Chain A
């Protein structure tokens, strides 16, 4: 089969190329000669005209001098050479990559301990990214440059406030494959959903939506490969697939051949006139959780362990509106995402004590809907509503008395924010949240945040 395709490719190229080549040698060559002749004549004419004008100008008044200057400029430019070529710098630093550094800090005023997970999501990730009082957020160092004509490299290092550096992103991507194909390899944020790929400094709120916190540990990343294909259509249509190690939550990092996770997604999008634009997508994610330890939902002093499959499906959309399409002035953005995850496998209750293992399966879902409105240049306000559904678990008979199957509670949260950006590179934010994600522990939260970026001017995704 493969050979047949190769043969076909070769055949088609052979068929296509010589045709084009012979065509070029016959009729086109004559045409090109004529064109060159015409060009030469017209330039010679023009240059002689300009010379005349120069002479006139030298003789004449102040106004004539101006014309001469213009003529001189035009004479130069008839050569259609760039006026300024980038001055070649002798030093090695001329090839230094673009470096951007993000500084961010938060003040949080919370009544409840943020370490308590949302009701029914004890087995999920819970890293809110904020704490009581003043805290430095991760400082982010981004480095990127073209490696050679074919590849571009990107690294994002996160400097944790407590010390230590983690590699958030480190990937190379192709730059010249053509046909709308982009490949990435290394460590990257998955292209699923809408928010997942966006870095923390462009988030519209202090924290990620609850569904991202619990389902994706804020942002899911992989060590692996990503392939994207952009269809040659008038409307934006992009298909993407990823395979990876499985290290990103909800996967489990382990030493094993093959792939530990796979993702498929599609995005479509378009403009509606000059003022509106939109994008919508669907995503599928699949991985395995292996010996994933988490505190028990009803007794946090005990640990449970789960091994099994995780399958997630999601839909996302975003719609933006700006009067005259001018986002510098005012704009409105509405976005929402929904994810549903099915976990099925074996759950071990109280790993250190009773150690009872039986079947466990559960389907959980979560969504958010948010809107951000820039009501005047530099000032924005936003509203977000979060909702989670912990589902009703199917618990094997051995664990029926140990594991809570149904919590009968739907965690939710409402947040409002106001932010001010003195320039493109700095932002201050105030956020208030009414957090009802934990049953019996309602919380009113106040956050004040700054986000600043220094260095290279970043370009942001839609």
Chain B
């Protein structure tokens, strides 16, 4: 009896590897990209919600249970998830998703990182040694990431490799057309002066050509004090900005405070898929981002 049980158990373990890929996406934008490239060929789980600060997530039991069965993690990397993902990887007892394994995909490794600090000192706030991790605000970054992700899925799931490559080709075509459209729409935004609540938009600035005058956090991750906000307000009286930007997951008070006093609109950007009701998928994410920015100009 026991013999049969053992043999069955082993068979179970060996056959499970042939099922569809279990993908654990750390953030909604990577879930959306995986969805574009893999359709229903994978089982997709998204670890964080669109209104969660991806840096401040707890290593919840549910995440550990999901990571236990994951074949592929799709995350930003660059220390964005350092406060929780390391615990999940460790507790999962799953060698496939450990750092350095093929099942651990870090999107930030495939794009040019901005704001890589020249010195590492916590006196500068919560800085990331590999650069600013909010890479998903520049639509152009999705092309190399999609290439690499399709490659990685093909490697892990060779049976569907042709499908992933086909989806990738289709996605690239649509995405390049969309980038051209977005850049045309966003042309009036070039050179516009803005204020941001958190240092979350360098890639967006770099792409659309904003001129960022100030941040409402004195240092990344630090609470804006009334005195510091007063200082920013002083700067804005000398060099007026067109709008103040914040990501949907952030507390609205600091940007509302400054918007009120500087008489400029506070613009809420979805920041990721689902961040606003309109940002339903990757394409809608940028459609909505740009339409909100243009609305802020009026």
What residues make up the interface of A, taking CB atoms closer than 8 Å to B? 4-5, 8-9, 11-13, 15-16, 20, 28, 31-32, 34-35, 38-39, 42, 70, 73-74, 76-78, 80, 82-84, 152, 173, 175-182, 228-237, 267-271, 274, 277-279, 320, 324-329, 376-378, 422-425, 454, 457-462
Least Cβ–Cβ distance between B167 and chain A, in angstroms: 12
Residues in B whose Cβ lies below 8 Å from that of A16: 10-11, 14
B122 within 8 A of A: yes
Q: How far is the CB of A430 from chain B (nearest CB, A)?
A: 18
Per-position 1/0 for B146-175, Cβ under 8 A of A: 011001101000110110010001000000
Which one of B51, B59, B126 lies within 8 Å of A326 (CB-CB)? B51
What's the minimum C-beta distance from A285 to chain B, rounded to whole angstroms?
22
**C-alpha gap A358/B223 in the complex (Å):** 62
B148 partner, pick from A5, A70, A80, A459, beta carbons under 8 A? A80
What A residues does B109 contact at CB under 8 A? 82-84
**CA separation between A237 and B112, bound complex, in Å?**
40
Interface string of B242-282 (1 = CB under 8 A from A): 00000001110000000000000000000000000000000
Is the CB–CB distance between B49 and A74 below 8 Å? no
Known: A179-B93, A328-B53. A73 touches B48 (CB 8 A): no
Closest residue to B8 on the A side, CB-wise? A12
Complex contact A178–B94 (CB within 8 A): yes
Cβ-closest chain B residue relative to A4: B3
> What A residues does B56 contact at CB under 8 A?
326-328, 424
Q: Does B117 contact A (CB under 8 A)?
A: no
B residues within 8 A CB of A461?
Answer: 59, 87
Complex CA gap A137/B95 in Å reads: 38
| Residue pair A423, B169 in contact (C-beta under 8 Å) | no
Bound: A63/B250 CA distance, A: 34
Across the interface, do B59 and A462 meet the contact criterion of CB distance under 8 Å? yes
A74 touches B144 (CB 8 A): yes
| Residues in chain B near residue A15, CB distance under 8 A | 7
Provide a sorted-by-A list of 30 A–B residue pairs whose CB atoms are within 8 angstroms: A16-B10, A31-B158, A74-B144, A77-B110, A77-B147, A82-B148, A83-B111, A84-B109, A84-B113, A175-B90, A175-B95, A176-B98, A178-B96, A180-B93, A180-B94, A229-B93, A232-B69, A234-B66, A236-B62, A268-B61, A277-B60, A277-B61, A320-B58, A326-B49, A326-B52, A376-B251, A424-B83, A424-B126, A459-B59, A459-B87
Docked-complex contact B52 and A8, CB < 8 angstroms: no
Given contacts A12-B10, A77-B143, A236-B61, contact A326 B249 (CB under 8 A): yes
Which residue of the partner chain, among A32, A78, A324, A423, contacts B51 with CB atoms under 8 Å? A324
Question: Which of chain A's residues has its CB closest to B45's CB?
Answer: A234
Q: Given that A175-B90, A459-B59, A462-B59 are contacting pairs, would A237 and B65 also be in contact in the complex, using a CB cutoff of 8 Å?
A: yes
- A contact residues around B55 at 8 Å (CB): 328
Cβ–Cβ contact A83 & B110, under 8 A: yes
A70 to chain B, nearest CB (A): 6
Contact for A267 among B3, B51, B61, CB less than 8 A: B61
Q: How far is the CB of A376 from chain B (nearest CB, A)?
A: 7
Question: Which chain B residues in 10-30 approach chain A with CB under 8 Å?
Answer: 10-11, 13-14
Per the bound structure, the CA–CA distance linking A325 and B58 in Å amounts to 10
Given contacts A82-B109, A327-B57, A423-B221, 16 further A-B contacts (CB under 8 A): A34-B162, A35-B161, A70-B140, A83-B111, A175-B95, A176-B95, A177-B95, A236-B62, A237-B65, A269-B61, A320-B58, A324-B249, A326-B52, A423-B126, A454-B122, A459-B86
Please provide the chain B residues from 130 to 152 with a CB less than 8 Å away from any CB of chain A in the complex: 130, 140, 143-144, 147-148, 151-152
Give Cα distance in the complex from A74 to B61, angstroms.
Answer: 39
- The residue in chain B whose Cβ has the minimal distance to the Cβ of A273 is B49
Are the CB atoms of B148 and A152 closer together than 8 Å?
Answer: no
- From A331, which residue of chain B is reached at the shortest CB distance? B58
> Is B79 at the interface (CB under 8 A from chain A)?
yes
Nearest B-chain residue to A98, judged by Cβ: B86
A28 touches B83 (CB 8 A): no
The answer to whether A20 and B93 touch across the interface, beta carbons within 8 angstroms, is: no
* Chain A residues whose CB sits within 8 angstroms of the CB of B64 once the complex forms: 230, 236
B225 nearest CB neighbor, chain A only: A422
- Are B83's CB and A459's CB within 8 A? yes
Q: In the complex, how many angstroms separate the beta carbon of A30 from the nearest chain B beta carbon?
A: 12
Question: In the complex, how many angstroms separate the beta carbon of B222 from the nearest chain A beta carbon?
Answer: 6
With an 8 A cutoff between CB atoms, is B84 at the interface?
Answer: yes
Q: Is the CB of A327 within 8 A of B58?
A: yes
- Shortest beta-carbon distance from B37 to chain A in Å: 13
Q: Which of B86-124 contact A (CB under 8 A)?
A: 86-87, 90-96, 98, 109-113, 122
**Bound CA–CA A435/B6 (angstroms):** 56
- Contact assessment for A425 and B90 in the assembled complex, using a CB-CB cutoff below 8 Å: no
Closest to B3 in A: A8
Which chain B residue shows the least CB distance to A229? B93
Q: Please indicate the chain B residues that have their CB under 8 angstroms from the CB of A320 in the complex.
A: 58
Q: How far is B87's CA from A261's CA once the two chains are assembled, in angstroms?
A: 27
- Contact status of A230 and B91, CB under 8 A, knowing A16-B14, A457-B79: yes
How far does the Cβ of B138 sit from chain A's closest Cβ, in whole Å? Answer: 11
Q: A324: which of B52, B66, B96, B110 is its contact (CB, 8 Å)? A: B52
Report the bound CA distance from A73 to B141 in whole Å.
10
CA of A20 to CA of B122 in the docked complex: distance in angstroms? 52
B297 interface residue per 8 A CB criterion:
no
Name the 3 nearest CB pairs between A and B, nearest first: A269-B61, A77-B144, A236-B61
A409 vs B118: C-alpha distance when bound (angstroms): 62
Do A422 and B49 touch (CB < 8 A)?
A: no
Chain B residues, Cβ within 8 Å of A177: 93, 95
Cβ–Cβ < 8 Å partners of A13 in chain B: 10
List the B side residues contacting A152 at CB < 8 Å: 90
Residues in B neighbouring A20, C-beta threshold 8 A:
14
- Contact present for B13 and A179 (CB under 8 Å): yes
* Shortest CB distance A66–B (Å): 8
Report the nearest B residue to A326, measured CB to CB: B52
User: Of the candidates B10, B48, B113, B221, which one forms a contact with A424 in the assembled complex, judged by CB atoms under 8 Å apart?
Assistant: B221
Query: Does B125 belong to the interface (CB within 8 Å)?
Result: yes
Question: In the complex, what's the smallest C-beta–C-beta distance from A143 to chain B, in angstroms?
Answer: 15
